[in-house]
Structure 1
Amino acid sequence: MKEGIHPEYQPATVSCACGHSFETRTTVGDIHVDVCSACHPFFTGQQKIVDTAGRVEKFRRKYGQQAGDQ
């Protein structure tokens, strides 16, 4: 690697709004985030798939599929 062209990495703490934090290295210092893997519904398994505005039923009506047909 060439000398003098790479940024200096320093230890930093990534802090989430939920209170979870972890250590990493970065060029910008400490980082504050709103959502992390400890509190995001996708990673925690608490994600619920919600059929908003009846999109599934609208699709079935449009293409002639009944609720029991598959």
Structure 2
Amino acid sequence: MKQGIHPDYHDIKVVMTDGTEFITRSCYGAKDATLNLDIDPKVHPAWTGGQQQLMDRGGRLSRFNSKFGGLFATK
């Protein structure tokens, strides 16, 4: 194995948006660094199932819906 080509892999502390913390191993920062998350799975709509609001600019969304609206059946 070649020497000096691998990054330093060490423990860091990750702080979630609600203040909970955990220790993980990463190449981020220096040893015992703290990574404060702005977005995490507890609050982001992609994981929480929140509804995204889409704006129809120039009729593009309505054109898309009229063309492909019946493509996927909803229950």
- Runs ≥4 residues deviating over 3 A: 53-57
1:52 matched to which residue of 2?
Answer: 55
Q: TM-score, normalised by structure 1?
A: 0.57
Work out whether residues 11 and 25 of structure 1, in 8 Å CA contact, stay in contact via their aligned partners in 2.
yes
Residue correspondences, number: 61
Distance 1:20 1:41, change over 3 A: farther
Matched residue SS, 1:43: helix
Give 1 or 2: higher helix fraction.
1
Q: SS of the counterpart of 2:53?
A: coil
Once residues 22 and 38 of structure 1 are traced to their aligned partners in structure 2, the CA distance between those partners, rounded to angstroms, is: 14
One-letter code of the match for 2:21? Answer: S
- Give runs of aligned pairs for residues 1-70 of structure 1, distance below 5 A: 1-27=1-27, 28=29, 29-46=33-50, 48-53=51-56, 55=59, 56-57=61-62, 59=63, 65=66, 70=70
Any stretches of 5+ residues in structure 2 without a counterpart?
71-75
Structure 1 portions without partners, runs of 5+:
none
TM-score of the aligned structures, taking structure 2 as reference length: 0.54
RMSD between aligned residues: 2.8
Q: Percent identity?
A: 28
Q: Kindly tell me: are residues 51 and 6 of structure 1, through their superposed partners in 2, closer, same or farther at Cα, counting changes over 3 Å?
A: closer
State the alpha-carbon separation in 2 of the partners of residues 12 and 4 from structure 1: 21
